[in-house]
């Protein structure tokens, strides 16, 4: 953590990780006794036969809550399903957590191998929704929102994290293969590959995509910021990337596709950056669903009461409450903070010092916006004070003298407004 | 997923630069120290008494208000101390006790808490209180009248009052050096220009005060004063005199830089400061109040929300 210097209050200058030229292999994490996979759940329905408790699953097998399609993920291990527990993610997303007792030897499900000849979007939906780096491929087929552009982003979206860039740089052939497969499966020709420009200075190979460099200063690699840099506009209220015909996918997910189609097996190992209490980095590779407690134990990171475990980086990650939480397909990093290093938010009012204004990369009038958001006036905040220009980088909260959880207010406001818009559309 | 250990869970970001509200106020208090010490040196024990009473009663009103309104006490954030201190520094050294107590009541309860507490004050609370007292008990806030019984080894009349009444001839024997080191009568902590600059530079360097506001204020004041002086050198004193006389430098670094009543965007900060300087000189040279700072500060405080609407277009906004 970078504290305020004694003199001055300059804008915090953070840079993304750039990685050196050496790529050490990630440390392998041993197969745990149980893994936990999260499946998006249809509320109120019983699980289908294939994932009932006691059912055997194979590595690479497609698991879905109900038998007639619906959201699915790929099992990362061979073993026996033990339990189903309801699980609520951030902002009320509902999942079912499926516990699987693992077996030492992997038996691979071969259903994917037969599909490698001709890549289709359906294959991507069926077999890659829970693959490392994961993306919601079903958005590629929504007839109401045709996708015209695919953006592959190679940088990491948070500080200290180097997972995505590592995959891009060390497995570039797999990523290139993945881009080709994406093209042929979707028929979309306009593909952008975005990476921090300095990380790719000496790259002279050919890439099957329109390569764009972005600055290495935080927050230029935030998805919303990349969108702005590519298309020169921001998302409007209620819009998602897909609404504007753009599909975002991480280089890691593209690499997984490339690797799967050349090897006939969907990768089940997730690469993670582990940041210990003194912010040393460890790159590890673990099965999706591995409880993080085991990984931290392997790295000799001790955990005590009132510590904080964060999935993701220091600016945009999310804190988890238990060391039993599983590594998921989109868990890029685990940051562990010692209890003594935590500076908690407060419920103080804004004192109008203006630090946020001078830090905001998108010139949002944060001091005014936060007054509206604190009062629950989300729509006014959006109309009068540029809520939708925010790229959710968290710098305002980082410098806030009153320690207001500004980013939380902003995300809550966007969430609530999206919910209201949805409800209005339903009523119409 | 039951865990034995209890972890802290919160929303991103998980880093913070460590700045805080109390630290901001305590640094401002540190910055006033040179000026306060010089003032106590010049005005003696009665100034010590007035200042102590001012700070103590400000804390008392804050505590009492929080108690009555059943809110968590905000004394520890240091703002009440700072307001009490600033109010005391504006007073003449011989201010009677009841004036001090009433003044801190007006500053803390009326100026700060009734408007909604920290961060919600449209006016600088201490300035608002001084303005009300000046309007209510003019004699007790009149520096010349109050300090008439004290003996000084320098000019024993308020330079601005003299300049206003008798033109620049009246102040020709006051050297600028004397004004700089505080050899003038005035508020307890507002006379020594050099000490105030020292404190102000400290606050700017540490990032608690935005340099745009004091710099544009001083520029606006000096340019306006110079124009008046050029137009009629006999009637109007020069810019350097106005810079070091009265509350000018105290206002530049401690009054108009108050977080809650000053703008946060770059251009508005410049306009706000410059406007303050111009209004001050207009009041001093054209209006009736000799110092003018107090009313100039209140006037720019009113303009602040409007001025601060001038802001750069947010990224991605078309209109």
pLDDT in tens, A125-149: 888 888 888 788 888 888 888 999 9
Asked whether residue B48 falls in the same domain as residue B161, the answer is no
Inside any domain, residue B294: yes
Nearest-angstrom CA–CA distance, A303 and A310: 13
Asked whether residue B50 falls in the same domain as residue B124, the answer is yes
What is the mean predicted confidence (pLDDT) over B241-259?
Answer: 95
Inside any domain, residue B9: no
Helices B45-68 and B97-105: crossing angle in degrees, nearest 10, is 40
What is the mean predicted confidence (pLDDT) over B107-112?
Answer: 96
Q: Which residue of B has its CA nearest to A383?
A: B317
**What is the SS3 assignment for A98?**
strand
**pLDDT number for residue B147:** 85
**pLDDT number for residue B1:** 47
Interface contact B118-A349, CB threshold 8 A: yes
Q: Which residues contact A81 (CB under 8 A, 6 or more apart)?
A: A51, A52, A53, A54, A55, A56, A57, A98, A99, A100
Nearest-angstrom CA–CA distance, A319 and B164: 65
Nearest-angstrom CA–CA distance, B186 and A118: 89
**pLDDT number for residue A70:** 74
Q: Which residues of A touch B259 (CB under 8 A)?
A: 351-354
Inside any domain, residue B6: no
Interface contact B12-A12, CB threshold 8 A: no
Nearest-angstrom CA–CA distance, B11 and A319: 7
Q: Residue A266 to residues A7, A62, A165, A182, A235: CA-CA distances in angstroms?
A: 53, 10, 20, 15, 33
Residues in A 308-327 with any Cβ partner in B closer than 8 A: 308-310, 312, 314-325
- Alpha-carbon dihedral A201, A203, A206, A210, rounded to 10 degrees: -30
Asked whether residue B29 falls in the same domain as residue B112, the answer is yes
Q: Is the pLDDT of residue A403 over 90?
A: yes
What is the mean predicted confidence (pLDDT) over B117-132?
Answer: 96
Q: Residue B221 to residues A208, B127, B131, B273: CA-CA distances in angstroms?
A: 63, 19, 20, 9
Average model confidence (pLDDT) for chain A? 88
The predicted complex's ipTM stands at 0.91
Count CA atoms within 13 Å of residue A87 on its CB side. Answer: 23
CB A385 within 8 A of CB A374: no
Taking the Cβ of residue B16 and every Cβ of chain A, the question of whether any pair is shorter than 8 Å is answered with yes
Report the percentage of chain A scoring pLDDT > 90: 49
Q: Is the pLDDT of residue B150 over 70?
A: yes
Asked whether residue B79 falls in the same domain as residue B163, the answer is no
Phi, psi torsion values for A69, nearest 5 degrees:
70, -140
What is the mean predicted confidence (pLDDT) over B260-278?
Answer: 96
CA nearest B50: which of B96, B10, B15? B96
Interface contact A401-B3, CB threshold 8 A: no
What is the mean predicted confidence (pLDDT) over A73-86?
Answer: 89
**pLDDT number for residue A114:** 85
Tally of domains in chain B: 2
Q: Would you identify the CATH topology of the domain A113-263?
A: Rossmann fold (3.40.50)
CB B87 within 8 A of CB B126: yes
Asked whether residue B159 falls in the same domain as residue B296, the answer is yes
Distance from CA of A337 to the nearest CA of B (A): 9
CATH code that applies to domain A271-341:
3.10.20
Nearest-angstrom CA–CA distance, B130 and B117: 19
Interface contact B12-A320, CB threshold 8 A: no
Report which of residues A43 and A256 the model is more confident about: A256
Nearest-angstrom CA–CA distance, A193 and A205: 13
pLDDT in tens, B191-212: 999 999 999 999 999 999 999 9
What is the mean predicted confidence (pLDDT) over A53-82?
Answer: 86
Residues in B 50-79 with any Cβ partner in A closer than 8 A: 77
- Alpha-carbon dihedral B188, B194, B200, B202, rounded to 10 degrees: -120
Report which of residues B275 and B2 the model is more confident about: B275
**pLDDT number for residue B88:** 97
**What is the SS3 assignment for A264?**
coil
Asked whether residue B159 falls in the same domain as residue B31, the answer is no
Q: Report residue A225's pLDDT band, with 50, 70 and 90 as the boundaries.
A: very high
Count CA atoms within 13 Å of residue A287 on its CB side. Answer: 24
**Domain extents in chain A:** 32-102, 113-263, 271-341, 355-427
Q: Identify the sign of the CA torsion A176, A182, A185, A186.
A: negative
Q: Is the pLDDT of residue B53 over 70?
A: yes
Q: Which residues of B touch A409 (CB under 8 A)?
A: none
Taking the Cβ of residue A347 and every Cβ of chain B, the question of whether any pair is shorter than 8 Å is answered with no
DSSP A291: B
CB B61 within 8 A of CB B53: no
Q: Is the pLDDT of residue A5 over 80?
A: no
Residues in A 64-123 with any Cβ partner in B closer than 8 A: 85, 87, 97
Asked whether residue B159 falls in the same domain as residue B270, the answer is yes
Which residues share a beta bridge with A56? A80
**pLDDT number for residue B276:** 97
**pLDDT number for residue B191:** 93
Q: Report residue A44's pLDDT band, with 50, 70 and 90 as the boundaries.
A: low
Inside any domain, residue B313: no
Interface contact B17-A353, CB threshold 8 A: no
From B87, B117, B141, the end of a domain falls on B141
DSSP A388: G
Inside any domain, residue B13: no
CB A112 within 8 A of CB A181: no
CB B18 within 8 A of CB A317: no
Asked whether residue B290 falls in the same domain as residue B169, the answer is yes
Asked whether residue B297 falls in the same domain as residue B173, the answer is yes
Which residues constitute the domain of residue B227?
155-307
Q: Which residues of B touch A365 (CB under 8 A)?
A: 265, 311, 314
Residues in A 222-251 with any Cβ partner in B closer than 8 A: 228, 233-234
Asked whether residue B137 falls in the same domain as residue B278, the answer is no
Q: Is the pLDDT of residue B317 over 80?
A: no
Interface contact A12-B260, CB threshold 8 A: no
Distance from CA of B306 to the nearest CA of A (A): 13
Average model confidence (pLDDT) for chain B? 93
The owner of tokens 């630290």 is B23
pLDDT in tens, A163-210: 898 988 888 889 999 999 999 999 998 999 898 888 776 665 677 788
Asked whether residue B51 falls in the same domain as residue B165, the answer is no
Nearest-angstrom CA–CA distance, B90 and A422: 57
Inside any domain, residue B75: yes
Asked whether residue B193 falls in the same domain as residue B232, the answer is yes
Inside any domain, residue B315: no
From B141, B173, B200, the end of a domain falls on B141
**pLDDT number for residue A8:** 64
Distance from CA of B111 to the nearest CA of A (A): 15
Q: Which residues of A touch B119 (CB under 8 A)?
A: 348-352, 402
Q: Is the pLDDT of residue A374 over 80?
A: yes
Inside any domain, residue B194: yes
Interface contact B8-A307, CB threshold 8 A: yes
Phi, psi torsion values for A217, nearest 5 degrees:
-85, 135
Taking the Cβ of residue B19 and every Cβ of chain A, the question of whether any pair is shorter than 8 Å is answered with yes
- Category of A300 on φ-ψ map: left (φ > 0), alpha (ψ -120 to 50) or beta: left
For A75-96, b where at least 16 C-beta lie within 10 A, e where not — what string?
bbbbbebeebeebeeeeeeebb
Interface contact A408-B12, CB threshold 8 A: yes
**pLDDT number for residue A9:** 60
């Amino acid at each position: 953590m970078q504290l305020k210097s004694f003199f001055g209050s300059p804008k915090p200058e953070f840079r993304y990780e750039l990685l050196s030229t050496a790529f050490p292999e990630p440390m392998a994490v041993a197969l745990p006794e149980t893994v936990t996979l999260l499946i998006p759940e249809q509320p109120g329905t019983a699980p289908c036969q294939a994932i009932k408790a006691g059912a055997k699953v194979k590595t690479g097998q497609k698991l879905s809550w109900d038998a007639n399609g619906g959201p699915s993920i790929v099992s990362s291990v061979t073993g026996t399903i033990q339990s189903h527990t309801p699980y609520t993610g951030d902002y009320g997303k509902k999942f079912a957590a499926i516990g699987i007792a693992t077996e030492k030897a992997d038996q691979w499900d071969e259903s994917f191998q037969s599909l490698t000849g001709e890549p289709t979007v359906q294959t991507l939906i069926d077999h890659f929704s829970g693959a490392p780096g994961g993306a919601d491929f079903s958005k590629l087929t929504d007839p109401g929102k045709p996708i015209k552009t695919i953006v592959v982003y190679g940088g990491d979206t948070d500080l200290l994290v180097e997972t995505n860039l590592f995959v891009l740089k060390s497995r570039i052939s797999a990523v290139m293969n993945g881009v080709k497969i994406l093209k042929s499966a979707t028929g979309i020709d306009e593909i952008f590959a975005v990476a921090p420009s300095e990380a790719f200075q000496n790259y002279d190979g050919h890439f099957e995509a329109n390569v764009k460099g972005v600055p290495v200063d935080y927050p230029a690699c935030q998805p919303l910021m990349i969108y702005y840099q590519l298309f020169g506009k921001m998302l409007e209220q209620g819009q998602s990337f897909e609404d504007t015909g753009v599909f975002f996918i991480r280089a890691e997910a593209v690499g997984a596709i490339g690797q799967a189609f050349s090897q006939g097996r969907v990768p089940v190992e997730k690469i993670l950056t582990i940041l210990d209490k003194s912010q040393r980095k460890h790159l590890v590779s673990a099965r999706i669903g591995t409880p993080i407690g085991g990984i931290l134990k392997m790295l000799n990171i001790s955990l005590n009461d009132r510590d904080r475990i964060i999935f993701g980086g220091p600016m945009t990650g999310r804190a988890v409450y238990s060391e039993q939480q599983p590594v998921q397909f989109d868990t890029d990093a685990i940051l562990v903070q010692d209890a003594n290093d935590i500076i908690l938010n407060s419920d103080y009012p804004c004192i109008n010092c203006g630090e946020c204004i001078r830090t905001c990369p998108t010139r949002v009038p944060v001091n005014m916006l936060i007054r509206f958001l604190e009062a629950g006036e989300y729509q006014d905040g959006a109309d009068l004070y540029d809520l939708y220009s925010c790229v959710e980088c968290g710098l305002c909260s980082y410098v806030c003298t009153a320690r207001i959880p500004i980013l939380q207010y902003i995300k809550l406001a966007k969430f609530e407004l999206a919910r209201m818009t949805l409800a209005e559309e339903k009523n119409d | 997923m039951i865990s034995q250990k209890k972890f802290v869970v919160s929303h991103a970001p998980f880093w913070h630069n460590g700045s805080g509200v109390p630290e901001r106020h305590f640094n401002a208090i540190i910055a006033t120290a040179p000026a306060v010490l010089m003032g106590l040196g010049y005005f003696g024990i009665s100034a010590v008494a007035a200042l102590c009473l001012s700070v103590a009663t400000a804390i008392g009103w804050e505590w009492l208000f929080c108690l009555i309104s059943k809110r968590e006490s905000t004394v520890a954030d240091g703002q009440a101390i700072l307001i009490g201190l600033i109010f005391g520094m504006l007073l003449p050294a011989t201010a009677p006790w009841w004036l001090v107590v009433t003044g801190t009541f007006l500053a803390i309860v009326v100026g700060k808490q009734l408007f909604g507490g920290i961060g919600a004050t449209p006016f600088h609370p201490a300035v608002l209180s001084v303005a009300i007292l000046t309007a209510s008990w003019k004699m007790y806030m009149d520096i010349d009248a109050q300090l008439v019984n004290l003996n000084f080894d320098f000019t024993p009349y308020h330079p601005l009052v003299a300049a206003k009444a008798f033109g620049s001839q009246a102040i020709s024997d006051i050297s600028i050096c004397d004004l700089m080191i505080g050899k003038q009568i005035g508020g307890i902590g507002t006379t020594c220009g050099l000490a105030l600059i020292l404190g102000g530079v400290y606050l700017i360097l540490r990032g608690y005060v935005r340099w745009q506001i004091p710099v544009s204020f001083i520029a606006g004041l000096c340019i306006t004063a110079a124009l008046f002086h050029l137009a009629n050198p006999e009637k109007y004193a020069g810019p350097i005199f106005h810079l070091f006389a009265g509350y000018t430098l105290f206002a530049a670094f401690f009054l108009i830089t108050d977080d809650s009543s000053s703008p946060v965007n770059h251009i508005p900060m410049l306009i706000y400061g410059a406007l303050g300087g111009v209004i001050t000189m207009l009041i001093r040279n054209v209006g009736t109040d000799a110092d003018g700072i107090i009313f100039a500060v209140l006037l720019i405080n009113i303009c602040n929300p409007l001025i601060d609407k001038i802001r750069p277009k947010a990224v991605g906004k078309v209109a």
